[in-house]
Amino acid sequence: MSKFWLIILFYLVNSLNIYANSFSIYDFYKEDKRLDYITDSVFNSLNNKQKAAQIIMYAVSPTDNVYTYNNSKKLLEDTIISNVIFLQGYISNIANQIQDYNAIQTSFNNIYACDCEPSLFNMKYFGSPNVLKTNKLDSDSLVLEAAKTISSVLDKVGIQINFSPLADNSFNTAVINNRSFGNNIDDIIHRAAQFINESKTYNIATTIKHFPGHGNVLGDSHKNLVYINGPLKEVPTFYHLIQKSEPVFTMMGHIAIKDNEQFNTAGLPSSIDKNIVSNLLKNDLGFRGIVITDAMNMLGVSTIPNADFKALEAGNDIVLMPKNPRLLSEQIVEELDKQTALAYQIEDSVKKMIRLKICLTK
């Protein structure tokens, strides 16, 4: 992009941000012609590479040789991404990195996320106030206190998306366990809804995960592909949260399904299965928000060729931590250039992210 058009884009985005300041997370699902107009205006101002950047989220961690600050910064500078998840680190350092990232604006409004579940918060985000683990939040007051503490920290440092709370039950001891609100569906729905609603008061977008349910499986999808055998017992939990609490994100788990005639995934994870992502979650459950994959470097999916792009084909709106973000960007641009049916689906995903960013702009 030439310097002239960068200047034009800068002034356009800033003029639109004046109007964006009047929106909040509560407006994301509302019918609002003004918000629609601003979203479309931003969308039309972006080239296809900038649009692709809206639906790719990379990671940064001070202890990882791949997800380094320099790598993520270079991807921002090269308009490959405009979204970053902080895997861990000192809260003060994260705030400083966000300031540095915000100085890089080659696309529309960078956005930042974290896995700030109550059980992971102090373990991953150093210097943060103490929060009880999720399984210890057994009263309304404790859930609200945890959500308030976490959300206030995120708001202060500049993180707008929390990949929390879990909608999974706690039967899976390998990876879920104390990260869950328990095994009673009513308790999970009630406490997850409280967490979501309290987070909204800080203008934090929340996420229910790991669809279609990681609580009844054996094993850890970080290490290998795991399976749901038979009925999808945890889907009703997601349905109730989607209908009653309107979380912005639903995160897909790298979970295969077998012995289920309607939803068998033929040995592939649900995260790249169109029947699960598009038909079940979006159509049957009526989820109108943003569908994001779990991290694509997890062994439950990472060994599958071209899994990053297959995630988009399945209906995911955002690809989290793709194996090859530059290749994925090229594939998205190529698809948008061809104006295929998939391209229109991708454009809808881009608009969802733009709309969210407008709602989260201060």
pLDDT of residue 86: 98
Give the CATH fold of the 3-360 domain.
TIM Barrel (3.20.20)
Find, among 112, 212, 219, 229, the residue nearest to 163 by Cα.
112
Find, among 154, 153, 117, the residue nearest to 136 by Cα.
117
Find, among 114, 70, 72, the residue nearest to 90 by Cα.
114
- Cα–Cα dist 317/68, whole Å: 24
Find, among 66, 111, 73, 63, the residue nearest to 292 by Cα.
111
Question: b/e string for 38-55 if b means 16 or more Cβ within 10 A?
Answer: bbeebbebbebbbbbbbb
Strand-pairing partners, residue 228, are: 257
- Cα–Cα dist 56/346, whole Å: 11
Find, among 136, 135, 132, 137, the residue nearest to 121 by Cα.
132
- Cα–Cα dist 335/92, whole Å: 40
Strands (E), 220-313: 226-229, 249-252, 255-258, 290-293
- Cα–Cα dist 300/307, whole Å: 11
- Cα–Cα dist 158/152, whole Å: 10
Q: Residues 338, 360: contact at Cβ < 8 Å?
A: no
- Cα–Cα dist 178/172, whole Å: 10
Please report which helix (H) or strand (E) contains residue 83, including its range.
strand 83-86
| DSSP line for 17-40 | HHHHTT--GGGTTS--HHHHHHHH
351's CB contacts (< 8 A; 6+ apart) are: 39, 40, 43
pLDDT of residue 362: 78
pLDDT of residue 6: 45
Structural domain spans, the chain: 3-360
Q: Which two tokens stand for residue 6?
A: 């960068």
* Distance, first Cα to last Cα, the chain: 27
131's CB contacts (< 8 A; 6+ apart) are: 118, 121, 122, 146, 149, 150
Rg (CA), the chain: 19
- pTM, two decimals, is 0.94
Find, among 210, 276, 286, 203, the residue nearest to 242 by Cα.
286
pLDDT per residue of the chain (362 residues) written in tens, 0 to 9:
444 444 454 445 555 554 556 899 999 999 999 999 999 999 999 999 999 999 999 999 999 999 999 999 999 999 999 999 999 999 999 999 999 999 998 999 999 999 999 999 999 999 999 999 999 999 999 999 999 999 999 999 999 999 999 999 999 999 999 999 999 999 999 999 999 999 999 999 999 999 999 999 999 999 999 999 999 999 999 999 999 999 999 999 999 999 999 999 999 999 999 999 999 999 999 999 999 999 999 999 999 999 999 999 999 999 999 999 999 999 999 999 999 999 999 999 999 999 999 999 87
334's CB contacts (< 8 A; 6+ apart) are: none
| Alpha helices (runs of H) in the chain, residue ranges in sequence order | 3-20, 33-45, 48-53, 69-77, 91-102, 118-124, 140-157, 185-200, 235-245, 274, 307-314, 325-338, 341-360
- Cα–Cα dist 312/252, whole Å: 12
pLDDT of residue 12: 53
CB atoms under 10 Å from CB of 103, counted, come to 10
